[in-house]
Amino acid sequence: MDVSLLVSQPSATVPMTTDRSLRSRAQHGLELETLLVSQVLEAFIRDEIGKFGISNAVVGLSGGIDSALSCILASRALGPDHVLAVLMPHRTSNPSSRIDAETLVNQLSVPSVVIDISAAVEGLLDEMTNGPSDLRRGNIMARTRMNALYDQSEAFNGLVVGTSNKTELLLGYGTQHGDMASAINPIGDLYKTQVRALAAGLNVPSVIRDKPPSADLWAGQSDESELGFDYTIADHILYLLIDEMYDATDLVNDGFDAALIATVMHRVETSQFKRRLPVIAKLSNRTIDRDFRYPRDWGH
């Protein structure tokens, strides 16, 4: 994508700063008051789950930083006994992922269950004669995990708490109806760098915080190698373009790589369908999600 196609005019909404580069502006803008943010997100979890007379939450715990943070927030909001951590390893998963997840379970004293998804995943793969790619296998694993997680949601009488951060959601880096599915998502407005900061403030174990981010969908897989760029620089670009509403040309003039900006924005644009409900063909006067639109808790 030609970065010049993204924008052609200087930003009309946000003036260029003269006393601070855009890089430092992004870094400053991504800083968090961890105590305040934690209080807001804990209240969000309590309020959104409590609206429906439910007091429990279910979290798919992978051993990664995002699910660890969601689990800690839910535990602080509802109490440890009201949060079920669901560990869903596959035979190809890194054994350290389960160890790290169990470390957090022990730290929080939350109930947990282990559901090995290997048989379910392999059963589906055995029926596919055209040799699924790593990506297809990963998507099947992610959707199998969500199937198990929603079953546990019913068994535990709790809502599924999401674990997708803002960077992943904007880049479309997740499986639709898989790891992107949830009833509520407390960390969906936190960029990856902010997740790291809040996780440190809430004492997520360092072994989880410090390891390279990975969906652990196949051996050696890592988020940043698959994306082709570092989360920190991606967060700076996304923050400036999405939150601050700068133009791509502003970032290029400040020294950001034009090709990387184009790559990031291409992912944002082409993954928009993942961030919206399915489009319904309009035939009536009141089409769902266009004219028939009410808050999620309408009627309560």
Q: DSSP letters along 41-97, please?
A: HHHHHHHHHHTTT--EEEEE--SSHHHHHHHHHHHHHH-GGGEEEEE---TTS-HHH
What does the pLDDT average to over 241-264? 95
Separation between Cα atoms, residue 65 and residue 200, nearest integer Å = 10
Separation between Cα atoms, residue 131 and residue 125, nearest integer Å = 8
Select 32-221's CATH number: 3.40.50.720, 3.40.350.10, 1.10.10.10, 3.40.50.620: 3.40.50.620
Q: What is the pLDDT of residue 286?
A: 93
* pLDDT tens per residue across span 30-57: 999 999 999 999 999 999 999 989 999 9
Q: Residue 205's closest CA among 64, 36, 70, 73?
A: 64
CB atoms within 10 A of CB 104: 23
Question: CATH 1.10.10.1510 region(s) of the chain?
Answer: 1-21+229-300
* pLDDT tens per residue across span 79-124: 999 999 999 999 999 999 999 999 999 999 999 999 999 999 999 9
| Ramachandran class of 110: left when φ > 0, alpha when ψ lies in -120 to 50, beta otherwise | beta
Structure tokens at 72: 């800690």
Question: What does pLDDT average to over the chain?
Answer: 89
Contact 159, 58 (CB under 8 A): yes
Q: What is the pLDDT of residue 216?
A: 65
Separation between Cα atoms, residue 76 and residue 110, nearest integer Å = 11
Separation between Cα atoms, residue 51 and residue 271, nearest integer Å = 31
Structure tokens at 206: 């360092």
- Strand ranges across the sheet with 158-160: 112-114, 83-87, 56-60, 158-160
Q: What is the pLDDT of residue 169?
A: 96
Question: CATH 3.40.50.620 region(s) of the chain?
Answer: 32-221
Q: What is the pLDDT of residue 212?
A: 79
Separation between Cα atoms, residue 77 and residue 247, nearest integer Å = 39
Separation between Cα atoms, residue 119 and residue 46, nearest integer Å = 35
What does the pLDDT average to over 163-169? 96
Amino acid at 234: A
**With 0-12 CB in 10 A as exposed, 13-18 as middle and 19+ as buried, what is 274?**
middle
Q: What is the pLDDT of residue 211?
A: 85
Place of tokens 């930003």: 11
Structure tokens at 24: 């430092």
Look up the CATH number of domain 1-21+229-300: 1.10.10.1510
Residue 232 in this model has a pLDDT that exceeds 60: yes
- What percent of the chain shows pLDDT beyond 70? 89
Give the sign of the dihedral formed by CA 108, CA 111, CA 114, CA 120: negative
- What percent of the chain shows pLDDT beyond 90? 76
Separation between Cα atoms, residue 33 and residue 198, nearest integer Å = 9
Q: Name the phi and psi angles at 11, rounded to 5.
A: -60, 130
Residues 6+ apart with CB under 8 A from 149: 58, 60, 86, 88, 160
